[in-house]
Amino acid sequence: MPSELILGGARSGKSRHAETLAAASDLSVHVIVTAEALDEEMAARIARHQADRPAGWMVVEAPTRLAAALAAEAAPDRCVVVDCLTLWLANLLDGAENLPPAASADQLPAFARERAALLALIPTLPGRVIFVANEVGLGLVPETPLGRLFRDEAGRLNQAVAALCEQVTFVAAGLPLRLKG
């Protein structure tokens, strides 16, 4: 079954689109979430996503060890939704503020290890896997070195995952636009 990357901006409808595809798959649905409720606003966002999901869907939290969670959850009779790669990336960039200007996040061991593990795993995953990610490269250039590093790494990650997925969809205003597949 195909793996798919769904990209979009904030409140574009990308998660809703992924959930619609998962519900229509007629497979058992498992959702791997990467967000952590580190403040009240994020807790409210997480609660809203939880309320939107069908009660029978299995949810696994994987703020940093995404490849391990995917290896455990993916199966021929399942649809796994990963929501979202961008928050996972943010979680892995802990310590990036101490990198010298123009440094690569590959200098962060946890980031380099987890990114490599995910990219190696994607082509081997059984079942259907739907990745959700933010497209952050359409806006302004961030003012800070850390912001630019995050934007650059998000773009690189999205390109690498898109190259490995059979389908890529961009969502804007709730409308999906097929880019690949």
Residue list, annotated binding site for GTP? 8-15, 61, 83
With tokens 């630019």, the residue in question is 148
Residue 168's Cβ-count burial label (10 Å; 0-12, 13-18, 19+) is buried
Residue 49 annotated as catalytic:
yes
Which tokens is 29 given? 């649905």
The annotation places the binding site at: 8-15, 61, 83
Active-site entry in 3, 6, 22, 49? 49
The DSSP secondary structure of 27-64, one letter per residue, reads SEEEEEE-----SHHHHHHHHHHHHHS-TTSEEEE-SS
Contacts of 151 by beta carbon, 8 Å cutoff, 6+ apart = 136, 137, 141, 142
Catalytic residue list? 49
